[in-house]
Amino acid sequence: MNNDEKDIEELEEDNENYITLSDEDGNELSFEIIDTVQYDDRLFAVLIPFDEDDDGVVILEIIPAEEPEYDDFIAVEDESLLEAVYDEFRKNYQGDYLFE
């Protein structure tokens, strides 16, 4: 394997935790996936937006497809479900992140 192939492979590995999604208006938003949380037999992604002005997290439900790169990320409307998933995330990462 030459250096160029190795650099491309490392770049692809580094980008595995990053996604770009389109909102309802067609705007592209980029996120880092910092965790996935299994809750009540459902899978959720905890994301940090790349936007420097936004210091919160975004939680979306992952609807698996046959190929992982085609999974759907769906907004969660139920506030109590969002809180429960966020609480689970906080339990898993106490000491790693500063939670308010």
Q: Express each pLDDT in 35-93 by its tens digit.
A: 999 999 999 999 988 876 767 889 999 998 888 778 889 999 999 999 999 999 988 87
Domain membership flag for residue 88:
yes
- Identify whether the C-beta of residue 12 lies closer than 8 Å to the C-beta of residue 69: no
CA distance 86 to 100: 12
CA distance 35 to 73: 14
Domain membership flag for residue 64:
yes
Range of the domain at 63: 3-92
Domain membership flag for residue 98:
no
Domain membership flag for residue 99:
no
User: Which residues, including other chains, have CB under 8 Å from residue 34's CB and lie 6 or more apart?
Assistant: 17, 46, 47, 48, 57
- Identify whether the C-beta of residue 97 lies closer than 8 Å to the C-beta of residue 32: no
Domain membership flag for residue 25:
yes
CA gyration radius for the chain? Answer: 15
To the question of pTM greater than 0.85 for the whole model, the response is no
Domain membership flag for residue 100:
no
- Identify whether the C-beta of residue 30 lies closer than 8 Å to the C-beta of residue 20: yes
Count how many domains the chain has: 1
Mean pLDDT for all residues in the chain: 80
Domain membership flag for residue 53:
yes
- Identify whether the C-beta of residue 90 lies closer than 8 Å to the C-beta of residue 100: no
Q: Which residue has the tokens 């909102």?
A: 23
pLDDT tens digits, residue range 40-50? 999 999 998 88
Domain membership flag for residue 73:
yes
